[in-house]
Structures are given as structure tokens and as C-alpha cells.
Amino acid sequence: MNAPVDFAALKTRQQAAWGTGDYAVIGITLQIVGESLAEACDLKTDERVLDVAAGNGNATLAAARRGCRVTSTDYVGSLLERGAERARAERLEVAFQTADVEALPFDDASFDAVVSTFGVMFAPDHATAAAEMSRVVRAGGRIGLANWTPDSLIGRMFKVLGRYVPPPAGVQPPALWGTEAHLRALFGGAAAAVQATPRHFTFRYRSAAHFVDVFRQWYGPVNKAFAAQPPEKAQALAAELADLLEGLNRAGPGSLVVPSEYLEVVVTRA
């Protein structure tokens, strides 16, 4: 029989990983996804919106730009600081609060909408995260998510990383959040409707080597994976990632342009 997963210990390691580097360097390039999600959720002025696993605040800012009353949360405080810097620059009023999506410190039905772009999908306990989002949104409210699919660039990248740093036993892979069947199983009777639309975000870098260098320095899980390897293994990991990128590159040898599929999801709360 498999030993039960120690989610607390796993989460501590995850926090350390996401606190490494500076995810905001990557996250800011994904802003268009937050804007698209805000439109998909049909966010309205003065609605109460919660952004969970908000990172540097892409969905947070998109909601605030639409006049919503936004609370932005993440379990890595340094990421929220990046979101707060951006909000101040745009003179947007946003409440920032350190919080774990698996134990949200809010009352039932506190929000009209809960959103997350490429964030909640990395919560280790999928069922608990989905239950918490469902709990804090009112009946008829929306849960809007952008999740990488298993066959996306990021989904494939994590498969490569898993060959060098094996994922914890018994934990469901994050990319399952990018499958409609898993989402329907997670939200179950809490959902009156689940709308899932495949979309693409396009990564644009100078070259495969440039992409690997940026992610190796700033993207926590990639940074940690490289740091755990001896030099020859790190070189092999870089080569595998570069091969993956080159195989998906549609720009030719002069640049790197790689579309990455994600699932844009709107769950209407029952």
C-alpha cells in the first residue's frame, strides 16, 4: 500500500521552489491570458473577485482594470509584492493577502468570481483546491481558470524535468487541470456548467538557448531542477529542453516562436 502523501511537506518544498528566481520575469509575458480570462468570465464593475495562486497578478490586474473589487492571493509573498508594484503603477486599488488556495481565509460565498491563470493547477491537492474555490464563490458566480494542457509546451517541459527530478509519488500531475474530464470530476455537483475552450499562448524568445537561460534563472521549478543536477546532467537537461523547443518552433532558425496550448475554463457555480 502506498504511503499517504505529506501535502504539508510537499507544499513547503513548492513554496521554496516558486520563491526561487523571480517568476514575475516570466509571468509578465503572459498578461494577455489574464485579459482573455477576464472577458471569458464577463467580469463586471464592482464585482468581488478573488485571484488565487495569483503570482505577479495577471488576472488580478485584468479584473481591476474592469473596475472589480479584487483580492489577490498567493502563498509566496514575494510574488504578491510584484503584483502590488504593478497595481500601484496603474493606480489600481487591489487588496493583497498571503493565502493558500487549499485553505482560503474567506467566508462561504464571499466572491462573485474566483480566477487563476496558470496558478491553482500547481496546488498539490487538486480536490481540496477545487472545493475551496467552490466554497468561497456565490451561487451563480464564476470560477475562471487558465491551465496548461498535458500536450502544451509547459506540460511537455515538466515531463522532461520529471526525468531529472522525479515528481512526488501519489501526487496528480498539474497538467491534469488542463483536461476537461478532470475538471468535471473536480467540480462535480458544485458546478451548474463547465465551459472549456482550448486556446494558445505563444512564447517568443531569441532562440531555444535564450528560453532555457531565462527559465533556468527565473522560473522556480526549472531553476531548482538545474540546481539539483551535477554539471553533466545539467548539460543534458538543457539539451533536452532545447530539442523540445526546436521541435515546436515555427519561426525558423532566426528566432523562437512556440505556441503552447492551454484550456480557458469558466465554471458556473451551482
Separation of alpha carbons 266 and 270, rounded Å: 13
pLDDT at 29: 97
pLDDT bucket at 137, cuts 50 / 70 / 90? very high
* Least trusted range by pLDDT, from 11-15, 82-86, 125-129, 236-240: 11-15
Strand pairing of 69-74 and 94-98? parallel
The H or E element spanning position 72 is strand 69-74
Dig out the grid coordinates for 127 from the structure: 480536490
CB 144 within 8 A of CB 37: yes
Question: Which residues, other chains included, contact 205 with Cβ-Cβ below 8 Å and sequence gap of 6+?
Answer: 211, 214, 255, 256
pLDDT at 2: 58
CB 195 within 8 A of CB 266: yes
Range 191-198 average pLDDT: 98
Of 174, 167, 169, the C-alpha closest to 3 is: 169
> How many C-alpha atoms does 111 have within 13 Å on its Cβ side?
28
Dig out the grid coordinates for 72 from the structure: 489577490
Separation of alpha carbons 175 and 96, rounded Å: 27
**Dihedral sign, CA of 32, 33, 38, 42?**
positive
pLDDT bucket at 5, cuts 50 / 70 / 90? confident
Q: What is the pTM of this model?
A: 0.96
Query: What ranges in the chain are assigned the alpha helix state H?
Result: 7-18, 23-27, 31-40, 58-65, 77-89, 126-136, 153-164, 180-187, 208-218, 220-227, 231-248
Please report the domains of the chain, with CATH numbers, ordered by start residue: 7-159+167-201+261-269 (3.40.50.150)
Of 255, 217, 254, 261, the C-alpha closest to 238 is: 217
**pLDDT tens, residue by residue, 213-256:** 999 999 999 999 999 999 999 999 999 999 999 999 999 999 99
Range 74-97 average pLDDT: 97
Q: Which residue has the cell 504578491?
A: 80
Give the Cα-Cα-Cα angle 220, 264, 259 (nearest 5 degrees).
65
Q: Which residue has the cell 486599488?
A: 93
Q: Which residue has the cell 525558423?
A: 252
Separation of alpha carbons 211 and 115, rounded Å: 27
Dig out the grid coordinates for 91 from the structure: 493606480
* DSSP type of residue 43: -
